[in-house]
Amino acid sequence: MVEYENYSYCPQIFNERFPSHWKITPIYGLAKEKKISDCTDLELLSVYLNIGVIPFSYKAEKRTNVTSVDLSKYQRVDPGDFVLNNQQAWRGSVGVSRYTGIISPAYIVLEMDDCNNSEFMNYMLRSHTMVDQYVINSKSVGSIQRNIHWISLKRTYVPIPPRTEQDQIVRFLDWKVSEINKLIGIRRKEIQKLEELKSCIIDKFVIHGLHGNFENHNDDIRWEIDYPSNWKIERLRNLFTFRKGLSITKANLEPTGIPVISYGQVHSKKNSMVGLNNELFRYVNPSYLITDPSALVQKGDFIFADTSEDLGGSGNCAYIDREEKIFAGYHSVIAHTKEGTDNKYFAYLFKSPTWRYQIWKKVNAVKVYSITQQILKDTFLLVPSKEEQQEIVDYLDNVCSKIDSLIANTHKNIEELIEMKSVVVSDVVTGKIDVRHVTIPEYEHVDDVVDDDTDNDDEAAEAGEEEG
């Protein structure tokens, strides 16, 4: 690591040191607030943690449908504009746009001085040092929210190197970031292959069992698959009853209270579908125990999402594997077991592509795929004996846990690479590393990948947009 020869300390930025020839200037000297609306024909944009400004469509599968929202008040954004999610800037939900489009009226949009390299400004304004400043200049609203306003933001100071140096920094970081993104992409493909392997294993054993007696298969006209002849086939409605989750919105969620699992958590990658993860829990006021007790679930129940933004997510559910008070939330259907017994075998069956194909054939989509109670009720289930169900569960628990361990280790490596990328960017744009004389080799440009490893809880990061 090569440092600059001379540094000066800046009292305006936590007494951090910066190269002596860099300027320290407030944001109001670099940008002015921009408010242009009634541009509904432009593309909808969003701001994500670790990514910045991207078209909404890049991650639309992760979001509830907002196309019915009145877009006339949404603000115009042009390439080079700085955009902040005013409720999530303190977490790093900011970025300089590369796109023309519109964004939530709740956000702050700034037109930047074109004297500076916009890509450098994107790197700088999203660095650790700047995010720390957004934290300081944000005001707490309740227990889980912090808002930043232009009156405070404008006094935030930014270190600015000469333009030629900005250009070199961008070239250097584009190279380094691309190299790291390439490694991240390799790891994500590894995870995808492991997930596909797990899906194939689950599908094989919940459809054909463990004992390999495929010569005794049964071709049933009700469900055109082969399965062991000693297994029963039942409609889902014969084994489960159905009811709806709470009629609430995100606005009804609270920092503490009774756990609730809604549409978003069912579709989360953190949902294994064969057991609950505490990270899935959101919370509602205990008063719902009195007003809406029918939305409570019990051990052995399933919470199905009643809509999906993509076909593959149709049929996603959460399996309730514990005895505690938990609500099913918005856009959800409860499948309650009639027998009142452990149904983990069915949790694995519901993950099976063979079972889910029944739903995929019937769902219709205009803006979203709707999964009605009737579609769920009409699906067929393969029902081995209780003893064989437990054998299958024990086998799949063992095999899947080993695969999940490999997946978790790979995710950890991705997190380490993302943190490495963040540190490199922050060190360079704040002058801790001098890259002026670094020769940039030929390299393949690799953008940040827009997927679940980089969203850092979309619902928290984007709540302000949907409700703004």
172-201 exposure pattern, b = at least 16 Cβ within 10 A, e = fewer: bbbbbbebbbeebbebbeebeeeeeebeeb
- Rounded Cα distance, 106 and 109, in Å: 10
Q: What is the pLDDT of residues 16-38, one digit of tens each?
A: 899 999 999 999 999 999 999 98
Residue 216 pLDDT class (50, 70, 90 cuts) = very low
In the prediction, which pLDDT does 214 show? 53
Longest pairwise C-alpha distance within the chain: 81
The phi, psi pair for 186, rounded to 5°, reads: -65, -45
Q: What is the pLDDT of residues 277-295, one digit of tens each?
A: 999 999 999 999 999 999 9
- Rounded Cα distance, 371 and 351, in Å: 16
CB 273 within 8 A of CB 318: yes
Q: Extract long-range pairs of 6-11: CB within 8 Å, 24+ residues apart.
A: 7/431, 10/157, 10/159
Tell me the pTM.
0.83
In the prediction, which pLDDT does 235 show? 94
Beta-carbon contacts of residue 43 (< 8 Å; ≥ 6 apart): 55, 56, 57, 99, 100, 101, 102
Question: Positive or negative CA dihedral for 176, 178, 184, 189?
Answer: negative
| H or E segment and range at residue 73 | none
Over 50: is that where the pLDDT of 194 sits? yes
In the prediction, which pLDDT does 3 show? 94
Structure tokens at 351: 């993950």
Q: What is the mean pLDDT of residues 177-186?
A: 96
In the prediction, which pLDDT does 213 show? 63
- Rounded Cα distance, 369 and 250, in Å: 21
> In the chain, what are the domains?
7-186+411-467 (3.90.220.20), 232-383 (3.90.220.20)
Coil vs helix vs strand at 251? helix
CB 368 within 8 A of CB 384: no
Instruction: Read off the DSSP letter of residue 127.
Output: S
Residue 450 pLDDT class (50, 70, 90 cuts) = low
Q: Indicate the range of 134-148, 410-424, 431-445 predicted with least confidence.
A: 134-148
Q: Indicate the range of 10-19, 118-127, 231-240, 288-297 predicted with least confidence.
A: 10-19
Q: Indicate the range of 63-67, 106-110, 150-154 predicted with least confidence.
A: 63-67
Residue 144 pLDDT class (50, 70, 90 cuts) = low
> Is residue 342 left, alpha or beta, with left meaning phi > 0 and alpha meaning psi from -120 to 50?
beta
Q: What is the mean pLDDT of residues 385-406?
A: 96
CB 233 within 8 A of CB 380: yes
Q: Tell me the β-bridge partners of 109.
A: 83
Q: What is the mean pLDDT of residues 309-313?
A: 89
CB 453 within 8 A of CB 421: no
| H or E segment and range at residue 173 | helix 163-208
Over 60: is that where the pLDDT of 143 sits? no
CB 385 within 8 A of CB 243: no
**151-160, 359-368, 453-462 — which one is most confidently predicted on average?**
151-160
- Rounded Cα distance, 435 and 120, in Å: 13
Residue 302 pLDDT class (50, 70, 90 cuts) = very high
In the prediction, which pLDDT does 142 show? 58
Q: Indicate the range of 48-62, 280-294, 336-350, 389-403 predicted with least confidence.
A: 48-62
Neighbours of 149 (CB within 10 A): 12
Q: What is the mean pLDDT of residues 354-377?
A: 89
In the prediction, which pLDDT does 466 show? 37
Q: What is the mean pLDDT of residues 325-335?
A: 96
> Is residue 431 left, alpha or beta, with left meaning phi > 0 and alpha meaning psi from -120 to 50?
left
SS (H, E, C) 384-446: CCHHHHHHHHHHHHHHHHHHHHHHHHHHHHHHHHHHHHHHHHHHHHCCCCCCCCCCCCCCCCC
Beta-carbon contacts of residue 68 (< 8 Å; ≥ 6 apart): none
Average per-residue pLDDT in the chain? 88
For residue 264, how far is the Cα from the chain centroid? 9
- Rounded Cα distance, 58 and 45, in Å: 9
% of residues, the chain, pLDDT over 90: 70
- Rounded Cα distance, 6 and 134, in Å: 27
